[in-house]
Amino acid sequence: MDFEVYNSEYMSIIFVKDKLNYTGKEIEPLWAFKTFDVQKDSIVVFRGKMEVSQEEMKDLKDIKREKDIETPIKSEDAINFIVEHFDSIDLKTIYLRQRLLVFIAKEVIESYNIKLRREGDDLYFEDKKLSVCIACKGTVSAKIHLGINVKSKGAEHVKIVGLEDLGIKDIDEVMKSIAIKYAEEIDKIERDLRKTLPLK
């Protein structure tokens, strides 16, 4: 697989240049180490189809709601971010970091003069869904998957919208921008907590 690695202070950013589909297996622990040999906390970004079957889903609410749909999460063309942290692996921390990633994605996309709406970890353009997102934890690490549609094809039971529908052409730039900004924010937080006096 063809990919580039950038290192921030506390994270590795892996930008996959080949097409790569998101199947749900990428959320499993140590996938980034197995695939890209990275031994830091990491954010991997890649583009391809997104097709997650029932068995690979982690959101039990979605699983219940969509139990008659074989492949509930589907997109013909999407950019996918896989984050893995080993420093703090409780669910609360990873869900807070998930919100951080979603807010940063929103910030990057809105820099193209688009106005999005956020509800929890979902991004919408008007009433159309732009993204899917989950955070979860295992025994040794905590992970996030954020998928943002590039095209509005693929999904069967929800109205979706893609970055291209919003007029964004340079998808690579969006991918890199979100991944780098996330890593930089994590770095900045690490520096922030090393300059703060305790409460009395």
* Closer residue to a second copy in complex, CB, 34/157: 34
Residue type at 1? M
CB of 59 to a second copy, least distance (A): 6
* Closer residue to a second copy in complex, CB, 2/194: 194
d(CA 118, CA 20): 27
User: Residues interacting with a second copy, by CB under 8 A?
Assistant: 9, 27-30, 33-34, 37-41, 57-61, 64, 86-88, 90-93, 95-97, 99-100, 103, 107, 118, 120-121, 134-141, 143, 185, 188-200
CB of 163 to a second copy, least distance (A): 20
Q: Which of 74, 84, 82, 77 is nearest to 19 (CA)?
A: 77
Is 141 within 8 Å of 86 (Cβ atoms)? yes
Residue 151 to residues 130, 140, 162, 184, 189, Cα–Cα distance (Å):
9, 35, 4, 28, 34
* Closer residue to a second copy in complex, CB, 42/152: 42
CB of 76 to a second copy, least distance (A): 26
CB of 94 to a second copy, least distance (A): 9
d(CA 9, CA 7): 7
